[in-house]
Amino acid sequence: MLNSVLETIRHDWQVDEIVALLQLPFNDLVYKAQSVHRRFFDPNKVQVSTLLSIKTGACPEDCKYCPQSSRYDTELEKEKLMQVERVLTEAKNAKAQGATRFCMGAAWRSPHDRDLPHLIAMVKGVKELGLESCMTLGMLTANQANQLADAGLDYYNHNLDTSPEFYTDIITTRTYQDRIDTLSHVRNAGMKICSGGIVGMGESLRDRAGLLAQLANLPEHPESVPVNMLVKVQGTPLSEQPDLDKFDFIRTLAVARIIMPASHIRLSAGREQMSEEMQSLAFLVGANSIFYGEKLLTTPNPEASKDMKLFAKLGIQAEERSIEKHPDDSSVQQVDGSSTPLYYSAAN
SS3 for 161? strand
Choose, from 179, 208, 266, 271, the residue flagged as catalytic.
266
From 10, 38, 39, 66, the catalytic residue? 66
* C-alpha closest to that of 230 among 221, 240, 216: 240
Q: Name the nearest CA neighbour of 111 among 71, 153, 65, 170.
A: 153
| Residue 74: closest CA among 89, 85, 63, 84 | 63
248 contact partners, CB below 8 Å, separation of at least 6: 199, 205, 208
Active site residue 103: yes
Active site residue 63: yes
Cα 333 from Cα 197, distance rounded (Å): 28
Catalytic entry in 101, 174, 179, 194: 194
Active site annotation includes 66: yes
Q: Return d(Cα 83, Cα 207) in angstroms, integer.
A: 40
Beta-carbon contacts of 131 under 8 Å, excluding residues fewer than 6 positions away, are 91, 94, 95, 99, 100, 101, 102
Could you say which of 101, 103, 208, 251 is catalytic? 103
Catalytic annotation, pick one of 63, 179, 208, 271: 63
Check 10, 86, 114, 134 and give the catalytic one: 134
Distance of CA 63 to the CA centre of its chain: 18
Could you list the active site residues?
59, 63, 66, 103, 134, 194, 266
